[in-house]
Structure 1
Amino acid sequence: MSFESQGNPEGTFPSSSRRPPFFFREEYAGLIVKGNFMTLAAKPKLVEEGEWLAHQVVEQYRLLEQMIDIIKVVDDRTGRICNPDVCPTMSASGHTYTWLDNNKNPIKIPAIQYINLVQKWIVGKINDPSIFPTDTTSPSFSAATYASGSLTPMSTPQPLGPTNLNAPLSQLSGREWLGKTSGFPETFESDIKSIYRQMMRCYAHIYHGHWLDPFWNVSAYKELNTCFVHFINVGKLFGLLGDKEIEPMQPLIDIWLAKGLLPPLPQPKENVPVTAGGAPQAAPA
């Protein structure tokens, strides 16, 4: 869907002007709240980082889900706003995102089907106690409190082998990973990066495919901006998103950076290759 061919909501521009899409223009980059989003993203001092990121990922998905619900509204004329006829592929600004079929082959599917599968996959991850543990008395939590990271059937800690007492404390305590002390699995960081990457694709499609209809038409584009700037802030602050992943939305992010809404953040950690699963018929590519 080309926004250049649909006219400007507040006037028209000649096609030769090659103006950027509406959502990449400063006049449409406003939010429904004021202030620095760093205060919402910053980890409280006494909260373990894994716990904080688990909370943030769940909250970010809750906000995204509300935006997705808007593009699923049924239009009397065309059916769902996002449908296979309007959005035959999951795409955004020249990027086409594929899904993995049962044989792990990348396939192109309609955007609404892709988004539905992403939602089911993310909910499956969040509700999986082996990834997002909620029972701190479970063996997975207890095991994380011991250097050996394992327990016998009688719940007796397994001793480690001989160690070099001159070694660094981090080495003496065994292998470390994000969220270990709170009971999160060793794959937790790669899992939440994979979840965040899929949410980023959903936001990119929502902007490039549906900013004008429905978000502009129902005066909800500032709500979309507010959810997205919060999402980006958390993703960049904790290294959950790389430059390549945010590329389809970089011009809007640059506007917010220039306005001081997103202070310059450190470069993200290198993404760990992951195989996303959990969807009933396929997996994210």
Structure 2
Amino acid sequence: MSFFNSIGRSMQRSGPRSTKRSPTPTSATFPTSPSGENLPATAGSPTTINSGQKPLYLCSPFVEAALVKGNFKTIVMLPKYVDIMEWVAVNIFDFFQNLNMFYGVISECCTQSSCPTMSAGPALSYTWINQDRKSVQLAAPTYIDYVMTWVQNLLDDEGTFPTKSGHDFPPTFPATIKHVYRQLLRVFAHIYHAHYPQILHLRSEPHFNSLFAHFLAFGREYELLDIKDVRGTPGQPAVGIGALWERWKEMGILEG
């Protein structure tokens, strides 16, 4: 039995997410790719938000808070005798589960009124591409519900994340997983921007920082991470999680 197959059995036992999400949007909302998969399409768009105050997650001692010391590259390396597809699948599953739990804890603070846009930092918010191929602003809880429901449905799809012996990953898996990674990155980015005070209130910053640093290191190692999604506009100072990425690189937690 393969490594991911054994994990898959535990996934099936664990059942669906405990945090209830909105129903999956209609297929018209998710443009269909040439492979026949329904993928949500999103894009970053600049806003006129301007804040001179340094985010808490960039301040000491919070930026240094972590459960793991040293460079995260050491914990994302492919283990011997493990198939790379299975390794990526297992880790994406774990990232999703952990991020979903964090969001579930702070979700009552993420409302239509408190988070009317999917903001991720000064001058940065994410827009949704609707069925008419137009960029639209969605409230953060709606955006995140759509993304998390979509990812959960993929995890439950045996054709995308096979858990049974003899079932192979589809040829479209690398492209799908990169899209999943990008969407999860945006959920992380919003939580850091809008809900880090709640993370601090729960005294969970070492856990959340370690999860995100692990996520970034993993994406960098397996070419899932597009640096422009982290840094923002090329040639401009990094904003939001981009500034956090730069700080962690200076500290030796992440590689460039």
TM-score calculated relative to the size of structure 1: 0.65
TM-aligned CA deviation for residue 35 of structure 1: 4.0
Which runs of 5 or more structure 1 residues have no equivalent in the other structure?
5-17, 73-79, 142-182, 265-285
1:80-99 aligned at under 5 Å gives the runs: 80-93=108-121, 94-99=123-128
Kindly tell me: are residues 34 and 225 of structure 1, through their superposed partners in 2, closer, same or farther at Cα, counting changes over 3 Å? same
1:1-285 aligned at under 5 Å gives the runs: 18-29=52-63, 30-72=65-107, 80-93=108-121, 94-137=123-166, 141=167, 183-212=168-197, 214-247=198-231, 248-264=240-256
Which runs of 5 or more structure 2 residues have no equivalent in the other structure?
1-48, 232-239
CA distance in 1, matches of 2:55, 2:175: 33
User: Does the Cα contact within 8 Å between 2:70 and 2:252 map onto a contact in 1?
Assistant: no
Query: What's the CA shift string for 1:45-93, capped at 9, x where partnerless?
Result: 2111111111111111111112211221xxxxxxx21101110011112
By percentage of residues, which structure has more helix? 2
Kindly tell me: are residues 3 and 60 of structure 1, through their superposed partners in 2, closer, same or farther at Cα, counting changes over 3 Å? farther
Paired letter, 2:76: A
Higher-Rg member (1/2)? 1
Paired letter, 2:134: N
CA distance in 1, matches of 2:86, 2:227: 25
2:229 match: secondary structure: helix
TM-aligned CA deviation for residue 254 of structure 1: 1.7
User: Does the Cα contact within 8 Å between 1:26 and 1:255 map onto a contact in 2?
Assistant: no
CA distance in 1, matches of 2:247, 2:129: 34
TM-score calculated relative to the size of structure 2: 0.72
Query: What's the CA shift string for 1:126-151, capped at 9, x where partnerless?
Result: 111111112233xxx4xxxxxxxxxx
Query: What's the CA shift string for 1:157-189, capped at 9, x where partnerless?
Result: xxxxxxxxxxxxxxxxxxxxxxxxxx2111111
CA distance in 2, matches of 1:229, 1:66: 17
Q: What is the match of residue 151 of structure 1?
A: none
Paired letter, 1:193: K
Kindly tell me: are residues 131 and 228 of structure 1, through their superposed partners in 2, closer, same or farther at Cα, counting changes over 3 Å? same
TM-aligned CA deviation for residue 245 of structure 1: 0.9
1:92 match: secondary structure: strand
Name whichever of 110-119 and 99-108 sits farther off: 99-108
Q: In angstroms, what is the RMSD of aligned CA positions?
A: 2.0
User: Does the Cα contact within 8 Å between 1:25 and 1:252 map onto a contact in 2?
Assistant: no
CA distance in 1, matches of 2:222, 2:192: 23
1:98 match: secondary structure: strand
2:119 match: secondary structure: strand
Query: Across the two proteins, how many residue pairs are aligned to each other?
Result: 198
CA distance in 2, matches of 1:55, 1:45: 15
- Percent identical pairs in the alignment equals 31
TM-aligned CA deviation for residue 97 of structure 1: 1.3
TM-aligned CA deviation for residue 3 of structure 1: 11
